[in-house]
Structure formats: C-alpha cells, structure tokens
A and B are shown apart, each in its own frame.
Chain A
Amino acid sequence: MSTTTSTPAARKPASPRFRERVNNLPKAVKILLWVLFAIFLFLLPLLNIPFITTEGSDFGGVLFTVATYVLVALGLNIVVGYAGLLDLGYVGFYAIGAYTIGVLTSEHAHMAWVVVVPIAIVIAMISGIILGAPTLRVRGDYLAIVTLGFGEIVRLTLVNSEWLGGAQGISDIPKPPSFELFEVPSIDWSSGAPVVDLDTTSTFLKFGINDFVPYYWLALGVISLVLLFDILVKSSRVGRAWEATREDEDAAELMGVPTFRFKLLAFALGAAIGGLSGALFATKAGFISPDSFQLLLSILFLAAVVVGGAGNRWGVIVGAIVVSYFPERFREFADFRVLVFGLALMLLAIFRPQGLLPPRRTVRAKRADERQAVLEEGDAHV
C-alpha cells in the first residue's frame, strides 16, 4: 500500500484524512475503538467532565434533548439529505408522535407504553403518507411551502381541539416500565481530580422523575437502531433511487426509477423517525402542549441537518449536537445565544456551505477539482 502510493504522495503533502487513517486500522482495533466509544457515550452523563457538563441544567436531561435532536436529524436527513425534498414542517410529525403517546397513555386511554410507541411510529408514518401523496407531485419551493403549512396546521389543530387537550395540552403521561438491573456510579470532580462517587448513582433503566440519565440511555439505544437501519437501507437499491431522484428526477424516472414511490417512501420513513423522536420527548417530559411544537423547532431541525452536512449521517448528528447542545451549555448568556447562533450560521454559510461534515462524495468532488486545478496550473507553467 505504502509503496504504491508513494509517488503521488510525493506531489502533494502527505496528510492522510482522519477517515482514511481509521479505515486503515486493523479490524480488531476498529471494533475495540467502537466499543470504547459506545462505553464513553453510555457513561457520558455520569462522568461529569468539567467544562463539557452543563452547569445550570441537569446534564442527563440536556443529553436526552440532544439525543432527540440527533434522532430527528437522522430522520430529516432521509427526506432532505438523501431524497432532496425540502421539508419545513417536520415538527408536525414530531408533534403527532408525542400526541399519540399523550392521547393513548393519559388523555383517553391507559395503554402500555411499549404498545403505544409502535402505534405512534405507525401513525406518524401514515400522516407522512397522507401529506406526501398529494404534495410530492410538486417540487422544490412549492413542496417547502406546503410542508410549512402542514407543520402549522398540526399545531393549530392541537390548540383548537378540546379532545387533544387544547392549549392546555396533555399532562400526566406515564413513565415507561422500569427494569432495574444495576447501578452506575458517577464521577465527582469537586476536589480537582476525578473521584468515583458511589453515593450519586443512576440505576440502569429506572425511569423516574428526578434522574433523566436512563431516558438518555433509552434514546441512545433507539439512535443506534435507527442508525443501523439508515446504513442498511442507504446502501441498497432504495438509497441509490433516492440519490438519483435528488440528482435529476426526470432522468431517474427515465432510467426506470419510480420516483414518486421512492419520494413517498422517504417521506414516510422520515415521518416515522420524527414521530418516534416525538414519542420519546413526550415520555420524558410527561407533559406536552402545542407550545412545544412551534415552527421555530422545524427550522432548528432543518438547521441541524444543513449545518451538519445534508446527506451525511455522521454530519447531521454533529449538526444536531451543535444546534441543541451549545444553547444549553451557554445558557448563562441568555438571549445573546441567539445572536451568536445567527452569526455562526452566517459564517458557516460563507466558509462551509456544504455543512460541517459534508457527504463524502462532495469532499471527493472538491478534491478532484483541486487536482484538476493543480494539473492545469502545471500545464500553464510548462
């Protein structure tokens, strides 16, 4: 490997990308790294790492919020990043998922949580199909406007429907069943060095009202499953059909891709993941009202995807973390956060228009362009 690439490497500075370096590691090392990373994520709320941990608000709760954003971003990435459909009303599906939980476990029935969550996913998916079937025939800007309307229609319906709790919302949403398996101690940094604190512990999967860490663990598990689903589906005929549709819808259709069907599929899957995320949100919050599902949230979700790099699942995860974590971490700056957030978005638009972690193909295209430039420059000097 090193011998074959040595000649071209001499031309350009040898700076192996992070991804390549990771890819070149032996498989066992890679698996070990993944396991370590998973353990780190699992323990993160209990490590109480200075500076990273939020001071003002409960870190477990913050991490849970971040996790729901990550989930939403993964779902929206299927719609916006893969299939190229601009959806400005994604909060609608989030709300539908949350309200399904509220209605079926508290407001009108008392069904078991494990039963209701799949129902919430299915109802969100059906609502995605109902919205998509007529609207996916329009493209681009028109689709954005229609979905924007959808998000608002859902919210206004919630406000005005007494059956759904009206503006008061739904409260007393029950906790999921607990399986108390083991306790995980936390780390105390008050003495300056990390000390294991056996008094402050979180019980693995005890869903209480004081300790939000188990909810974070639940969300982490759900994210892993959704991520696996994303990877498997994207690297198949389905993923290729989505990308072809995004690149050139007419050409895709003429190459035998039933584009409408695949757009609807993307919409339905995105809606299902949005609904799942909303269901988790309602479970942890215990109380939901139409105010929780403002238009601003749709914009934030979209910002997470665009900031991270639409089309790259790892990018949108980073984007979701940026969009949801930093406002919590810098809570003490109050409204200035919004100003900084706006500035950061502008800077990003100027310097990294493809997002923090653009899709690999974009990176490759850019590198090819650079090489082209080098070649042309070389010719000019000769």
Chain B
Amino acid sequence: MSDPTPPTTGDEPAVERTLADPAEEVTEINPDVDIAPEDIGVPVVSEGERLLEVDEVTLRFGGVVALNEVSFHINKGEILGLIGPNGAGKTTCFNVMTGVYQPTSGGVRYLGKPLGKRKKFQITKLGIARTFQNIRLFANMTALENVLVGVDAHHSTGVVSAMFRLPKHRREEAQGYARAIELLTFMGLDGKADELARNLPYGDQRRLEIARALATSPQLLCLDEPAAGFNPAEKAKLMELIRTIRDQGYTVLLIEHDMKLVMGVTDRIVVLEFGRKIAEGSPAEIRDNPAVIAAYLGVDEEDAS
C-alpha cells in the first residue's frame, strides 16, 4: 500500500496483455535507450586499458585441480569470449573473479589492484557484475524489484532514512526507479515490470538477469551462457544485444558453448580445457588452432603425439 513507485501499482494491464496475446512473448529490445554506466563512484577507465587481469590463478578442491595457473586479461571496451568443453573451468573462473571462491594461489587484479579477500558484494560495488548459467532471479519479486536490488548496490538508505522518509531515501528511490525502468525498457521488458520474475517466459528471465546485472552499473559484465536454451534466431538477437551493450560503454566477458556465435561476436577468445588455458587470440586464430580443434573434436591417440 505504500509502494514508493506509484506508477506501477496497477499490475493488471500487463498481466491481461499476456492473456490476450501470448504471441507477444517475443520481446524486442530497444537499443536506442541510453544505459551507459552511471557515474556513481565506479572508476572509469579509458579504452584499451587492462580492466581485469587473471594472474596465474590455481584453484584446488581437495585433489581436484579446477583451475591450473590460468592467466589472461580483459581490455576495456572489448568482448572477450571464454570457451571450452564442459567441465573446463569456465564458470569456476567466473566464481574466482566475483569472489565466490578464493584462489589457492595466484590472484585477480582489477584496474591494477588485487581483489584480495574482498567480499562478493564489495566486488560487485567495484564494478564487476555477472549473470548465472542456471537462472537465479529473485523468483518471488517483480521484474522491477529484481532490477531495483541491483541498483541498490550503490545506495545506502538504511532503516533510519526509510523510517523517516529522509531526502536520501526519496532521492535514491526516485533515481533507482528511473534507472530500473530505463534498463527494463532497453531490454524490452518495460511492459512486464510488475510481473513476478518466476512468471516471465524463459527468454525474458534471461534478459532480466542481464538487466539486473547492468543495474549494478558494472565496468565489466560477465555473462555465463546467456544464450543457453535459445533457438538460433533468439541467439542471434542476443548477440546483437551484447554488441549493443558493449557499444554503450560496457566491457563484456562471455561464456558460450556455441562456437559459431562466439566467433561472430567476440573480439578475443580464451580457451580453457581441464582447468588450463590452451589458447588465446582473435576468433580467426582460435579457429585454426590445432589444440582448440583437438579439445572440441577430439583426436586419435596416434595423431595427438
């Protein structure tokens, strides 16, 4: 009843629309909406500079070596593809970069400074955001609320501000709401702001995850198989979207299985296999790299030697 976002209380129209026309599930994005990273304390780096460096990272779980001295870097403004067969350590690599796991040895440097033992939410605040391979939205919150949680990462309203409706609360709510609507519009989800996340069609859920990650105003956006479960047409559209996101000033790290897509959208590619980096280079270089071909297609025992 005291929703701070008056224009959205009428959830019925959006709901009725899906009832009236299920075909409308195919959502068009609005690439013209300006979603450039906000100037809110997240450091801005110039084009071409190294944004993030993964430095000799080794991660062991007991006897299993999940990552073995992996090193690569991400330049500001590029789309870097991280590929490899199942179990190669791609998602583990994401988890090390976002603070979920602490590397056994080696480290991650962000803008030249080691991430160290920073907590997950602190790393997010620094400007690294991610999506999840298996969708992990806040299922029982609305699409708008999901994005608002992301925007809130840079807010500081506490109990006292909220209780007395201090100017800080009102300013942050207004700013957060505007930003959230902007992102939802960009993703083509503005008509579904008041739908519960769990009620959204699969594709919308994937897009909402990206919107939520963008809401934290990251420098680096890490997408973990964002096209999983998409048909070729949807995948192509998504790759277009990723390129648009990059053009608006974000750096993108992309995990993807589909070689063709990765080749089409990325500037550089890092290939992992069994926790080791086996190749790094432009899509053309990767395509012709024998080690990569072997990893993906397999080789006969005799050929391998």
Q: Does A364 contact B (CB under 8 A)?
A: yes
Q: Using A238-B158, A243-B140 as known contacts, say yes or no to A365 and B121 having CB atoms under 8 A apart.
A: no
Interface check A237, CB cutoff 8 A: yes
Is A241 a contact of B149 with CB atoms below 8 Å? yes
Neighbouring B residues of A180 by C-beta, 8 Å? none
**B125 nearest in chain A by CB position:** A256
The answer, among A8, A231, A244, A250, for a CB contact under 8 Å with B19, is A8
Task: Report A24 CB to chain B, min CB distance, Å.
Answer: 11
Task: Point out the residue from A238, A253, A365 that lies within 8 Å of B162, measured CB to CB.
Answer: A238
Q: Is A232 in contact with B163, judged by CB distance below 8 angstroms?
A: yes
* Pairwise interchain contact B125-A237, C-beta atoms closer than 8 A: no
Contact status A257-B157, CB under 8 Å: no
A230 to B48, CA, bound (A): 49
Least CB distance from A9 to B in Å reads 9
Question: A381 to nearest B CB, angstroms?
Answer: 15
Residues of A with C-beta under 8 A to B98? 254
B304 within 8 A of A: no
Known: A251-B132, A254-B120. A232 touches B2 (CB 8 A): yes
- Cβ contacts under 8 Å, A248 to chain B: 136-139
How far is B172's CA from A237's CA once the two chains are assembled, in angstroms? 9
Which chain B residues numbered 17 to 54 have a C-beta less than 8 Å away from chain A? 18-20, 22
- B132 near A240 (CB under 8 angstroms)? no
Contact A8 B20 (CB under 8 A): yes
- A residues 355-382 near B (Cβ < 8 Å) are 359, 361-362, 364-365, 367-369, 371-372, 375
A371 touches B163 (CB 8 A): no
B100 at the interface (CB under 8 A from A): yes
Contact of A247 among B22, B124, B141, B216 (CB under 8 A): B141
One of A243, A269, A369 near B141 (C-beta < 8 A): A243
Contacts of A232 in B (CB 8 A): 2, 162-163, 165
In the complex, which residue of chain A has the Cβ closest to the Cβ of B155? A237
Interface residue tally of chain A, by bracket?
35 or more
Q: Chain B, 214-250, contact with A by CB distance < 8 Å: what is the 0/1 string?
A: 0110000000000000000000000000000000000
Is A300 interfacial (CB-CB < 8 Å)?
no
Interchain CA distance A265-B130 in the complex, whole Å: 26
Using an 8 Å CB-CB cutoff, how does the interface string of B117-146 with A read, 1 for contact, 0 for none?
Answer: 001110011000110100011111110010
Chain B contact residues, majority secondary structure: helix
A229 at the binding interface (Cβ < 8 Å): yes
Partner pick for A233 among B13, B152, B163, CB 8 A cutoff: B163
C-alpha spacing A372/B121, complex, angstroms:
36
**Nearest A residue to B145, CB-CB:** A240
CA distance A5 to B12 in the complex (A): 9
Report yes or no: B19 in contact with A256, Cβ–Cβ below 8 A: no
Return B193 CB to nearest CB of chain A, in Å. Answer: 13
Q: Does B1 contact A (CB under 8 A)?
A: yes
- The answer on a CB contact under 8 Å between B148 and A255 is no
| Known A243-B138, A247-B138; contact A255-B153, beta-carbon cutoff 8 A | yes
Distance in angstroms from A363 CB to nearest chain B CB is 10
Question: Is residue A258 contacting chain B, with contact meaning CB distance below 8 A?
Answer: yes
Give, as a whole number of angstroms, the nearest-CB distance from B295 to chain A. Answer: 29
Instruction: Please tell me if B258 contacts chain A, counting CB pairs below 8 Å.
Output: no
Is B3 an interface residue, CB under 8 A from the partner?
A: yes
A236:B121 contact, CB within 8 angstroms? no
Complex alpha-carbon distance, A372 and B169, angstroms:
38
Residues A256 and B163 in contact, CB atoms below 8 Å apart: no
Q: Which residue of A lies closest to B16 (CB)?
A: A8
Q: Is the CB of B162 within 8 A of A237?
A: yes
A186 at the interface (CB under 8 A from B): no
Query: How many angstroms from the CA of A373 to the CA of B145 in the assembled complex?
Result: 26
Contact between A231 and B2 (Cβ–Cβ < 8 Å)? yes
Q: Mark A156-175 against chain B: 1 for CB-CB distance below 8 A, else 0.
A: 00000000000000000000
Q: Which residues of B contact A375 (CB under 8 A)?
A: 19, 22
A318 to chain B, nearest CB (A): 16
Q: Tell whether A252 is near chain B: CB-to-CB under 8 Å.
A: yes
Cβ contact within 8 Å between B145 and A243: yes
- Report how far A15 CA is from B12 CA in the complex, Å: 14
Whether the pair A256, B16 counts as a contact (CB closer than 8 A) is no
Q: In the bound complex, how far is the Cα of B121 from the Cα of A269, in angstroms?
A: 23
Closest to A253 in B: B120
Which residue of chain A is the closest to B173 with respect to CB atoms?
A236
Chain A residues near B145 (CB-CB < 8 A): 240, 243
19 contacts between A and B (CB under 8 A): A8-B19, A11-B19, A231-B1, A233-B162, A233-B163, A235-B4, A236-B161, A237-B169, A243-B140, A247-B137, A254-B130, A255-B121, A256-B124, A257-B149, A361-B141, A361-B142, A364-B196, A365-B199, A368-B195
Which residues of B are in contact with A by a Cβ distance under 8 Å?
Answer: 1-4, 11-13, 15-16, 18-20, 22, 98, 100, 119-121, 124-125, 129-130, 132, 136-142, 145, 148-150, 152-155, 157-159, 161-163, 165, 169, 172-173, 176, 195-196, 198-199, 212-213, 215-216
Known: A8-B19, A237-B172; 11 extra A-B contacts, CB below 8 A, are A235-B3, A235-B4, A240-B141, A240-B152, A243-B140, A247-B137, A248-B136, A255-B213, A255-B215, A256-B125, A257-B121
